[in-house]
């Protein structure tokens, strides 16, 4: 019996898209995911030709030899190498010392999705009794099912695979194979101008390739070999590859890296500065890890991070980036218990630098002075179009005073986003916009009023009488007007500007 062709591959009798001009078709394809581009290309020869320009624009790699080797194949491919514009590097590595007990505690059945499957109440506040009971049921079920049922022989084989992967990652570093492959990719891909380095679930959409690659070990790396050094090796390799290739980057994202990235030898730091210098878009999340399990180690880590920031290690790199258009900075502390939540002072990171072409600025998890924050914003009063502030504590001054000093002064500001808490030593917690989950999408009169005041000036809002949240969503209220240009909509005065949003920004 002849094999039926899939309807998915049969071109339609008449494709309406064929009537559209080429410019519009390219515009449509620019918004599609790679999977959608692939599907569209299978429908007719016209879309196959147009969609070819949108395949393999981003290459993804993890810390595994086969994946690094794939970069070499792409770099030497006569077609694909010409299309690559971005590299996503999921930098996680296993702990350098294999331990059966630790592996057994961490492992999970690779045939399950590894998630808590109980339905959680989507409309309940995250701290409510009903919500917490649902979390408890889901956690119990997850613990009971995630490990699966395996024989002793199967577990031994998985642990052997785990040890093999650890040793393979060590050999990659010892041989410099990561640097070699990254350099080859930059040499072979003339349009590659964007690199993202991330760890753990910072960009969870990319985590699947890590979990799939290490299925035979019933585990996957979550962070770096030593958490205090997370990203040090990876950033060193990237910066060396950039220097060796002679390539210059336009966009760089370093997500959940340690402050020690900026405290290496003089040669390495100079290569990092060289990599940063031509950037137009920088997103930097420097994570300081603290845990209540070892208070001595926690205090040492916080002290070390503070010294790094106060010494200007990050500031010296940032001040040498004159062409920045986008600057988004997050400096959180990862904690497992109560305690200090912020360790970086804004002035120690940004100093008195002015970026004359800065369009977008995002700041999260900082200690600041009122004068320092206001001065930073007013230095960019004519260039800023987009502003995001969250988790900021004023150690001098008040938020009421700070808002009055900047309201209506950022003359070209088009969009603003205020999230989480705003604290001052003088007045305590002045604002708290930390609205969990789906609730955060509902109309928030207090937040809207403060954002509108910053954008337009006028009278200071009566914050004591405004509710934090309404029960309706913006699309349910026909008369609702957003304080600024909504995310992902073009600027009416400059359609080329579009304030994009992804998982990095969602944490701000």
Q: Which residue, 300, 280, 281, 304, is CA-closest to 291?
A: 300
- Measure CA 166 to chain center: 26
Final residue before a domain boundary, out of 111, 144, 162: 162
Same domain, 48 and 130: no
Same domain, 11 and 152: no
Per DSSP, helices labelled H in 14-151 are 22-29, 34-41, 45-51, 65-75, 80-83, 100-106, 129-145
Residue 259's H or E segment, with its range, is none
pTM assigned to the model: 0.82
223 assigned to some structural domain? no
Q: Which residue, 438, 433, 432, 443, is CA-closest to 471?
A: 443
Is residue 481 left, alpha or beta, with left meaning phi > 0 and alpha meaning psi from -120 to 50?
A: beta
Q: Tell me the longest C-alpha to C-alpha distance in the chain.
A: 82
Same domain, 402 and 483: yes
CA 253/CA 282 separation, integer angstroms? 6
End-to-end Cα distance, the chain: 59
The answer to whether the CB of 63 falls within 8 A of the CB of 222 is no
Q: Which residues pair with 420 in a beta bridge?
A: 433
59 assigned to some structural domain? no
CA 149/CA 5 separation, integer angstroms? 40
285 assigned to some structural domain? no
Non-local (6+) Cβ contacts of 233 within 8 A are: 93, 173, 178, 224
Same domain, 41 and 112: no
| Domain that residue 454 falls in | 310-508
Final residue before a domain boundary, out of 162, 183, 201: 162
Q: Would you say how long the chain is, in residues?
A: 508
71 assigned to some structural domain? no
The answer to whether the CB of 341 falls within 8 A of the CB of 365 is yes
Same domain, 48 and 111: no
Same domain, 13 and 154: no
121 CB-side CA count, 13 A: 15
Place of tokens 């990599």: 275
Same domain, 50 and 104: no
pLDDT tens for the 508 residues of the chain, in order: 443 333 333 444 455 667 777 778 777 876 776 667 778 877 787 777 777 666 678 899 999 999 999 999 999 988 789 889 999 999 999 988 888 888 888 888 676 654 544 445 554 444 556 666 776 776 666 666 667 788 899 999 999 999 999 999 999 999 999 999 999 999 999 999 999 999 987 665 567 788 888 999 998 898 898 888 999 999 999 999 999 999 999 999 999 999 999 999 999 999 999 999 999 999 999 988 765 556 666 677 888 888 999 999 999 999 999 999 999 999 987 654 444 456 799 999 999 999 999 999 999 999 999 999 999 999 999 999 999 999 899 999 999 999 999 999 999 999 899 988 888 877 777 888 877 666 677 888 899 999 999 999 999 999 888 887 777 888 888 888 888 776 656 666 665 555 666 667 766 6
Domain count, the chain: 3
Same domain, 115 and 20: no
Same domain, 387 and 483: yes
Same domain, 12 and 132: no
């Amino acid at each position: 019996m002849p094999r039926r062709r899939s309807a998915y591959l049969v071109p339609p009798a008449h494709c309406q898209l064929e009537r559209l001009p080429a410019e519009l078709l390219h515009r449509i394809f620019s918004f599609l995911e790679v999977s959608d581009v692939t599907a569209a290309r299978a429908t007719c020869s016209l879309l196959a030709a147009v969609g070819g320009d949108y395949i393999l624009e981003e290459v993804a790699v993890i810390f595994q030899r086969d994946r690094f080797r794939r970069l070499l194949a792409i770099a030497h491919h006569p077609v694909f190498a010409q299309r690559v514009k971005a590299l996503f590097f999921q930098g996680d590595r296993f702990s350098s010392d294999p331990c059966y007990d630790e592996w057994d505690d961490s492992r999970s059945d690779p045939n399950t999705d590894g998630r808590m499957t109980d339905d959680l109440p989507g409309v309940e506040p995250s701290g409510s009794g009903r919500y917490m009971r649902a979390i408890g049921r889901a956690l119990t079920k997850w613990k009971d099912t995630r490990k699966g049922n395996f024989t002793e022989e199967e577990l031994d084989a998985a642990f052997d695979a785990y040890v093999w992967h650890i040793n393979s990652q060590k050999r990659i570093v010892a041989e410099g194979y990561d640097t070699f492959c990254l350099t080859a990719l930059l040499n072979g891909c003339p349009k590659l101008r964007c690199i993202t380095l991330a760890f753990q679930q910072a960009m969870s959409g990319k985590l699947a390739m890590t979990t799939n690659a290490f299925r035979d070990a019933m585990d996957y790396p979550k962070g770096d070999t030593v958490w205090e050094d997370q990203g040090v090796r990876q950033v060193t390799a990237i910066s060396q590859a950039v220097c060796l290739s002679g390539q210059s980057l336009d966009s760089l994202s370093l997500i959940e890296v340690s402050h020690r990235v900026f405290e290496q030898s003089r040669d390495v730091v100079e290569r990092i500065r060289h990599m940063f210098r031509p950037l137009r878009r920088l997103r930097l999340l420097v994570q300081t890890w603290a845990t209540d399990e070892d208070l001595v180690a926690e205090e040492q880590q916080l002290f070390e991070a503070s010294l790094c920031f106060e010494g200007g290690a990050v500031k010296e790199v940032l001040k040498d980036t004159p062409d920045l258009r986008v600057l988004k900075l997050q400096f959180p502390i990862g904690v497992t218990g109560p305690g200090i939540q912020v360790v970086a002072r804004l002035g120690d990171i940004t100093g008195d630098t002015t970026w004359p072409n800065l369009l977008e600025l995002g700041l999260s998890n900082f200690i600041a002075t009122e004068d320092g924050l206001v001065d930073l914003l007013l230095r960019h009063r004519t260039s800023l179009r987009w502003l995001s502030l969250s988790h900021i504590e004023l150690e001098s001054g008040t938020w009421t005073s700070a808002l009055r000093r900047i309201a209506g002064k950022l003359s070209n500001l088009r969009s603003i986003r205020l999230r989480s808490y705003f604290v001052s030593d003088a007045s305590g917690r002045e604002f708290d916009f930390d609205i969990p989950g789906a609730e955060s999408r509902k109309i928030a009169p207090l937040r809207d009023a403060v954002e509108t005041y910053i954008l337009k000036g006028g009278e200071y809002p009566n914050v004591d009488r405004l509710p934090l949240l309404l029960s309706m969503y913006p699309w349910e209220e026909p008369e609702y007007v957003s304080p600024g240009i909504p995310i992902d909509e073009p600027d009416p005065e400059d359609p080329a500007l579009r304030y994009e949003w992804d998982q990095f920004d969602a944490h701000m």
